Structures are given as structure tokens and as C-alpha cells.
Chains A and B, each alone.
Chain A
Amino acid sequence: MHDDTTRSLSFSALRRRGFLAATGVGALTLAGCGGSGSGSDDGAGDGAPKKGGRLRAAFAGGGASETLDPHLANLFADAARAKALFDKLADYGADLSAVPRLAAKWESNTALDRWQVTLREAAFHDGRPVTAKDVLYSYRRIADPKQAFRAKASLEPIDLDASRATGERSVEFVLKRPTAEFPNILAAFGAYIVPDGATEFDKAPVGSGPFRFVSFAPGRSAVFRRYDDHWEGAPHLDEIEFLVANEESARVNALLGGQIEYAHELNPTTARAHEDKGQIEIVRLRGSAMQAFCMKTDRPPFDDPRVRQALFLIADRQELVDGALSGAGEVGNDLFGKGYQYYADGLPQREQDLGKARALLKQAGAEDLRVTLDTSAVAAGFTEAAGIFRDQAKKAGVTVEVRMGSKDSYWSDILDQGTLCCYRSGAMPIEAHISQRLLTDSSTNATRWRHKDFDAQYQQAQSTRDPAERAAVYERMQRRLYSEGGFLVWGFADWIIGTGRQVKGVETDAPANTLDWARFDKVWLA
């Protein structure tokens, strides 16, 4: 095994914590073209930005196995470091629509299967310009069939053999099928642009991002320095240091003790204890993590839509948000992506209705329903949510038996096994959620939602050029999921960040995984 390593690529650390990050923002993607610049300029009321200083930011997750290879980014910590060093062609705005980054603009043919992307004038940290060649190299590296990069599934619609550079700064992407949401692919989690030929990233990585590499000690610290020639303008900070502190209490203590200025991922109870106390600032990023129960629609008892509807009506969502998320979140309406582009917000908010739930169960011949609910300590609030739902179900005569699973293999275990499980997902476009989880050939279809007509609707949306018409198709799809889908989406958790009082310019309207989340080039120290 010792001599095989030359070939084997490294895999970035993936720990139980800080995990949701990953939450695969992947797959095809949606969002119309366009979008405006970076959106977030200096947070309101923070005064004029000040130049200089070093900001220390602590994240959970990474261990001794972490790497700076942006294509291996998996955890929040990885993504935050990657976005400091590298750029993507596009990134997600606050509503998860694609915002241009290294790409200045994109245009498609009428069939939506050929896209012309023009790059803006930008340079890597070593002075070389970012060219079409670098873009194609990066995407081909991600799509390499011998590797298992996370963004590979996202780039799947692109025929990279047929795609080519049409100029120094223009690329023609040839797609395997019409993909109206192509810009979302450019914003996919981990789809960073690296210089042509780059394979080694831990010693002296070169990117085009707002910070340049200084030093890296896996599992401990990464120091980056301001890149003055960044295409979007130089960051305010001189230096940013990413630190690893897996224990939440350690991050809070370090922040309170002035050892760091930014602590990522705090507990709701910590936030409550320190909010408005004047010592530190608490930043809540709304709509960052969907919280759900996931019903397997291909097997009893959930192959009967009436049983699924009964479960929808059993859930008291506010109680779940208050209990499992300590109130740090908002209720869900059985649909993914509240507040995101194309979200069907016209549907009535579902409320608990035990009488109706009992009636539905009776119709389905499942009065004495007994189900096993899989859960695990893999994510905050999972076991609490399971316990609360068990008690709620009891009131409707449904016996829920809670089963604890292994943290490290939970997501893989629940993909095929069991009938009901706790589920969560980070932010991604609604279209990506559909393509990854709700099509017949989706790779992580945990609800086993397989309907030819639903697949066809998805293809129809992807072939529709007009955004309004496309929105109408998505609305129809979401109506169906709302009435009989397999996801009981009960809430959306806030993502909580703590910062020192001198830290300014932290964007609050930025769900985790979007462009302005964990973005340090717009932050300054007052």
C-alpha cells in the first residue's frame, strides 16, 4: 500500500462535523443568466471599510487529512479556504441563482445545448492571465473518470470532449442535452478554476481568488495574504488565517477570549446566551439547512400517498423548530428551498391536523401504523427531532420506533434501507435538489421518488428558454411534491456565526454555501 500513493489522489477530510457544507451543491442547475456583480458590498451601517489587519477564523471539521485542493472541497472549512484562494466561473447569490464571477457573461443557442462563456480579465497569483485553457483543464480534471471529485456529478451535462476554447477568453461548452440552468453548473460546489496543469495544491497553490497562499498546516492553520490584483479589487484585510477547532465550546471560548475574530457554526443555545450582550456579534444566516423526514415512496407503508399525507398532517412544525433547532430557524412547508429562486411560496402553510391524519390512515387501512424512524447524531437536532415526532405521531395513533444509526455511515445507510429517516440538506438551487434527489436516475434519491412524468417535466423545464415559463413548470412540479412527495420538510435551520465586535462587513443574507457566506474579501476590522 505504501508504494501506491503516487497514483492515489488525496481525499479531503470529511468529518462528521461541519458536514452539511458539503450538502452537495451539485448537479445540473438552474437560474437564468445574468445576475449582478457580487451583490454584497459592505454591510449597511458598518461605516467605511478600513484597510489592513489579520482576521483569524475558526471552523469545525478539517483534521490532519485536510487539503487545499479546491476540487476536493467537502467541508465548510474546505469551501471557505477554497473561495479565498480560487474563483469559480459563477457562484450562488442569496436566492441560489447564479451570479457571474470569472465568467463575465454567458449566452446559449436557441436549443440551450451550446453555451458561449466569456471570461473577464483576471490573473492568477503568479501573474498569468486566466484563460479558456485553464477553464477546460479544471473542468476536465474534475470530470476525470478515474477520480471521484465531488463536482463531477454537477458537470455531467457538459460534453467536455466536444467543448473547446474559441478564443483566449472564451469557451464554447457543448452539452449532452438542453440545460436551461447551465449557469448553475458553473457555480457548482467545488467547480473552481485552477491553472492549466496544476496537480499539487498543498505546497504553494496558485489561484485567482482574493487571497494568495502563505502557509498551510493541515488540521491546524492556513494563512493567506491579500492579493492586490484581484479582478474584483483587493480585499480589505491584509491577512486571513483559517484555524481548526472542532469543539464548539472551544470556538466560542477562543472568540470570547479574543484569540479569534470569527467563529463558524455555533449552537443556538450559545447564540442566545451571547446575543446582544455586547461581547460578540451573532450573525444568523437564514435558510441555510433544510430539515426533513424522508419517506421511502416505493415501499409500504409509504407507497400509499394517503399515508404520506397523514404524516404531513401529524407534524407540528413549530414544535419541531422550537425543540430540535432551539428555535433557530423557521417552519417548512414540505418543499425544499424556502426563499430560493423558483420556490413555490403561494402554497398554503401546512398545519398539524390530527383528525384528518387519522381519517387518511383509516382510508389507507393503516390505523395501527407502526414505523421505524432512522436517526443518528450525525447532525445537530436529528435525535431531538426524532423524539419529538415520535410523540406527535402517538397522538394520531401512529407508533414510531426511533432507531439510532452510526454517525459515520448514516447517509449511505439511509439511502436504500428503512422506510422513514431524518434528513437535512444545505443550500443548493431547487433544480439541483430535484436533479440529485427526485429523478428516476438521481444518484441520491432517498425518497425513491421515481415517476416518468415528473422526469419529463424536469426535462421540459430544462428545455424552456423563458424564465417565467420555466418557473411555471417548477411550480407544477413543486405542487405535486407538496401534495404527495416523500420529503416532510418541517423546517429550515439558521446557520449561526459569531464574530468579534470589530469585525465589519459580514453579509447576513447569505445561506451557507452561497457566494457571500464565509467570504472574507469584503470583511474588515474596525
Chain B
Amino acid sequence: MSGPRSFVARRLLLGVAQTVAVVLLVFALTEALPGDAAVALAGDQPDPARIAAIREAMKLDRPAWERLADWTAGLLHGDLGTSLVSGRPVSLYLADAFGPTLLLASLTVLLLVPAGFGLGVLAARHAGRPVDRLISSVTLAVYAVPEFALGVLLVTVFALRLGWLPPTAVGYGTDLAAHPAALVLPVLVLLSRPVCSLVRLVRAGMIDALASPYVAQARRYGVSGARIRYTHALPNALAPAAQQLARTVDWLLCGVVVVEALFVIPGLGTVLLGAVAERDVPVVQGLAVVFGVVTVVLNLGADLVAHRLAPRAGVAA
């Protein structure tokens, strides 16, 4: 058995390979899209001479591999390149958009963890009884509502009808922290589905763990119920939930396009959407790198946590 250190090293190496693969794939896919930045920019005035001029000014007339090589060379020096469309550094795009995304993601996770685990454990403790039934059916129902629909519903009720909260974050720019009221609805929408999936996972894990031989053994030793639940069963039930949590954080950090669009929050998802539509390849690639690294780091973290919580994977997990 290899130690945790070599486990981390192997996972990091794999992560780097995965990120490189993601970037290459994204580059290839962006190139494969019909039209390039010049065509997208020319829009409804597709004068061929103008498109050719834009292409030349953007240096899109060079072969794709050459552009990729240039960009990669810059990346090795920590330079993510510049936007084809605006000429501004890609790092500026990321820096500007990362703040709102990070703020939303942290708030969501901060609420998600206690809510998800608490409700999950509660449901498991009362498995089969009304509390469990209520929690299970509500989470299933909410999970089935798409974010967009939920967002529109919440805005209509709480912002427009009742006037308790601002309907969007328009005009607040990246300084969302100064306007906490504007964050309530977006965070609620972001929370809705992850909470449901987490609750159901924790509940299932807890029920399995509580029915496992080691819990039965602990009971036979006369260990108290609370101690069994929280120090023996819960860690094992958390292992799969930790993986799910990592996926959720990943999803949140990579920009949630629907919520950003609905509430006018200038985060990473909005930047990605714009960059793909404009065929702004350096920006798309820069985002791909960031998203790749975030995903790798989060999954590594989740694996380590799961490893720590349930070293012998397979037992009750």
C-alpha cells in the first residue's frame, strides 16, 4: 500500500494531465465550431473584405497549431494571453469575474453543508417516519424544479410582489458583498438542488452505516447512541457526500450561467458564455485552465477527505 504522499503526487500528476487534456479538447472544439472570432465580430455585416481584415488584425490567418503553441508558451510564463476581441489580458477577465463567483459559491457552500448534513442525519434518524417522509418528498420535489423556473418564481414572489428583496444585482458590479440583500435570491436558487441531492446522499449513507455490522458491534459494546451516530456512522456516511460536495463546489466555481444571467451577476459563467459566442479562443482557454485546475484540486481534496473519513473504502460507504 502506498502512503498518502505518493497518493497525492500521483493524483496531482494525473490532474495536470487532465487539465492539459481539457485545454487541448476545448481548443479543438472551439476551432471546430462554425465561424471564428472574425466572423462572429462581423455579425450581420459579413463583408468578406472586412472579415479578412479583422482576421489579419487578430492574427487568425495563422495556422491553429501556431496559435496554440504561442498561447502555451505564454502560459508556461504564467501569461494567459490577451482577448482577441478587446485586446485586454485574459487574467483581467478572470480576476474581474472570479470575485462574484467565489462570493456566491462560498455563501452557498457555507449554508449547504450544515443544511445538507443536518437534514440528512435527521431524516436517517427517523427513517420511515413522517419527518423522513416529509424531508424526502420535499427534497425530491425541489430537485425536480429547474433553476431558471425557481429563480423566476422567487423573483416574482419576493422581489416584485412582496418587494422584500431586489430582483437583480444589476448596477452593483463586482462589489456584491456591499449589497447582501441582492445575494439572497441567487444563493437560494443555487442552494436548492445541491441541498436536495446532499440530503438524500447523507440520509442513504447514514441508514446504511447504522445497519452495518460495526455499528451493531458498537451497540453490543454498549456505546451510546449519539456517539455511534456521530463518531462511527456519520464519518462513513460522509465519504460519498464529500465527493458530491466537491462536485457541487466545482459546479459553483465554474460559474452558474443560468443564475448569473437571471440575476445579472458578472461571474465566470457569463464570461465563458460571451467568450464562446465571440469565439474569443484565448479567453475560453484561460477559463478552461482555471476550471481544470479547480476541478482537479477539489476532487483531490474530496478524495483525501474521503480517505481520512473511511480509510477502508467499501465499508458502509
User: Looking at the complex, which one of A20, A218, A247 makes contact with B262 (CB distance below 8 Å)?
Assistant: A247
Closest residue of A by beta carbon distance from B266: A220
Q: Is B304 an interface position by the 8 A CB rule?
A: no
Interface of A is mostly: loop
Indicate with 1 or 0, residue by residue over A1-33, a CB within 8 angstroms of chain B CB atoms.
110110011111111100110111010000000
* Cα separation A279 to B179 with both chains bound (whole Å): 25
A14 and B38 CA atoms in complex are apart in Å by: 10
A502 contacts B by Cβ under 8 Å: no
Which residues from chain B contact A247 at a C-beta distance below 8 Å? 261-262, 264
Residues of B within 8 A of A20 (CB): 44
Contacting B at CB under 8 A, from A191-225, are 217-221
- Complex alpha-carbon distance, A65 and B81, angstroms: 14
Q: A253–B274 contact, CB under 8 A?
A: no
**Closest Cβ neighbor of A25 among chain B residues:** B45
- CA A185 to CA B167, docked complex, whole Å: 43
Chain B residues near A148 (CB-CB < 8 A): 50, 53-54, 57
Chain B residues within 8 Å of chain A by Cβ, number: 66
User: Is the beta-carbon distance between B51 and A64 smaller than 8 angstroms?
Assistant: no
Give the residues in chain B near A74, CB-CB below 8 Å. 41, 43
Taking a contact as CB atoms closer than 8 A, the residue among B37, B70, B86 that contacts A64 in the complex is B86
Known: A2-B82, A11-B54, A243-B171. A411 touches B42 (CB 8 A): yes
Chain A residues lying within 8 Å of B50, measured Cβ to Cβ, are 148, 150, 152-153, 443
A residues 313-339 in Cβ contact with B at 8 Å: none
Shortest Cβ distance from residue B80 to the other chain A in the assembled complex, whole angstroms: 8
- Contact assessment for A14 and B87 in the assembled complex, using a CB-CB cutoff below 8 Å: no
A128 in the interface (beta carbon within 8 A): no
One of B126-134, B196-204, B275-283, B294-302 contacting the partner = B275-283
* Docked-complex contact B168 and A13, CB < 8 angstroms: no
In the complex, what residues of B have CB within 8 A of residue A63's CB?
270-271, 273-275, 278
Q: A2-B70, A2-B74 are in contact. Are A250 and B264 (CB under 8 A)?
A: yes
Shortest distance from the beta carbon of B94 to any chain A beta carbon, whole Å: 10
Question: A110 on the interface (CB 8 Å rule)?
Answer: no
Residues of B within 8 A of A412 (CB): 35, 39, 42, 46, 51
Residues of B within 8 A of A415 (CB): 46, 48
Q: A444 contacts B45, CB within 8 Å?
A: yes
Question: B34 contacts A5, CB within 8 Å?
Answer: no
B249 near A: Cβ within 8 Å?
no
CB of B225 to closest CB in A, whole Å: 49
Residues of B within 8 A of A65 (CB): 83, 85-86, 88, 274-275, 278, 280, 283
| A-B contacts, 18 listed (Cβ < 8 Å) | A2-B81, A4-B59, A5-B82, A11-B57, A58-B170, A65-B280, A145-B53, A147-B53, A218-B86, A220-B174, A220-B266, A245-B170, A250-B167, A254-B264, A259-B170, A408-B35, A413-B35, A444-B47
Additional 8 contacts, C-beta under 8 A, given A2-B81, A64-B96, A74-B41: A11-B86, A13-B85, A148-B57, A221-B173, A253-B167, A408-B279, A443-B48, A444-B47
Residues of B that sit less than 8 Å from A by CB: 33-35, 37, 39-51, 53-54, 57-59, 67, 70-71, 74, 79, 81-88, 93, 96-97, 152, 155, 159-160, 163, 166-168, 170-171, 173-174, 261-264, 266, 270-271, 273-275, 277-280, 282-283
Interface residues of A (CB under 8 A from B): 1-2, 4-5, 8-16, 19-20, 22-24, 26, 56, 58, 63-67, 74, 145-148, 150, 152-153, 217-221, 241, 243-247, 249-250, 253-254, 256-257, 259-260, 406-409, 411-413, 415, 424-425, 443-444
